[in-house]
Structure 1
Amino acid sequence: MLDSHLIANALAPTGKLRASINLGNPLLAGQHAHDGSLFGVSIDLSMELASRLGLEVSFLAFDAAAKSVNAVKAEEADIGFFAIDPARSEGIAFTAPYVLIEGSYLVRDASPLSNMEEVDRTGHRVVVGAGSAYDLFLTRHLQAARIERSPTSPTVVDTFLHIGADVAAGVKQQLEADASRLPGLRLLAGSFMSIQQALGAPAGRASEVHQYLAGFIEEVKANGLVRDALAKHGIVGAAVAPAQSAG
């Protein structure tokens, strides 16, 4: 068994567990307007991890995934919660995913697009949150459509409407919420990607740290903590990721 005291010292050299929180994904983190306090699944997991290691936790909140990722890469934070992507692997070591989220497309009601396969056509403009998992994925996979970038994921639909683009891409639940508050919008059926949300730490931390974090994520999936956190925060549409095979 790994010594939690040694892990705490190796993971959090400042004596506090510094958790980088991405407010750009409202399924996993949010901020109360009245007092600025943070809430969400990633907050709950940070506090559980800190408690197990006998550490205080301090949060660094960012409005976009790319900023949150960079804080961990620069070792300004000890952990972060992001979608796994090859473009983020340099400088960050990820656990297996703990939550799976769908990425979807949104269009205007009047759009001629009727399915996802029609999106990647010459002349189409697709709006994504800069540096988000969708940006990284679609940058690799779209061959003909042009990508336009919004400053953050929550502003994607507003940017999409403002610039007159053809498609908005992002978290299905965020797009559904935007479609309900703004008239004349609809989602295309299905999802273009399954986003694997994982716990990440600076790659330079000791191997025992990464081993401990991997075990932590498997345990909180198995014991229901992730499931209960999703329910507690009213998150619909995100699923607890399956257990990581030991083999």
Structure 2
Amino acid sequence: IFFRVQFFFCKVAAMAWPHLVLLLLLVLSCDAKKKSKKPPADGPITPEGLHPDVYCETCKAVIEQLTAKTRKWRKSPRLESEVMNAMDTLCTKDTLGDKYKFSAPTLVKACEAMLAEHEEDLEELYSRNKVKGKDKFNHWCNGQIKACRGIDVAKIEANPDLNVQEDPTGGMGGMPGMEGMDMDAMANMMGGGDDEAPPSEDDAEGDAEGDPAAAEAEDASDAKAGDL
């Protein structure tokens, strides 16, 4: 009986062995993927879908523009409210456009990604005003969010291939069947245009009731018709 039991367990182990090996390989593969997603200890931390150079350049732009917008309020009781106002217009083409190494839409996208994760911390950095203006870039971009950690900002080069591709028609790029269609055309198509129906006779009479001169002329016309 002992040998039969031993044989049975050996047979079960032999049958289960390939499955155990496969399970072990899957566990090791998942662990390797998790480790590969972790940024290097001395490298930049970048949101998914953004190039490190773009994110670092955006961080530089954010600090420069926010510092410029709030500089004169640093010692004012209004500092906090002015910081909030500046934050409202920070991720816009008007603020970021034509001043840096990537296109305005590219910087706007990266700026929005930054604020989505770090808006409160950035607002606090400027509202408390504990870090000098010239030190804010290093404090924020290298230290706090690590967008530029390990990157030589001066060596970042403009690369058109990293820019966000805009719809040249300015239309609804990406909506099936509506590519290149502007908003006015869409509004007209959906019955939301500005054209108005001509006034009806009832409307005309209503207008006469509200206009003394028109009402007097109408009464005179009715009197003449009665004489006939």
Task: Give the TM-score normalised by the residue count of structure 2.
Answer: 0.20
Higher helix proportion (structure 1 or 2): 2
Higher strand proportion (structure 1 or 2): 1
Larger Rg: 2
The higher-RCO structure (CA 8 Å, 6+ apart) is 1
Task: Give the TM-score normalised by the residue count of structure 1.
Answer: 0.19
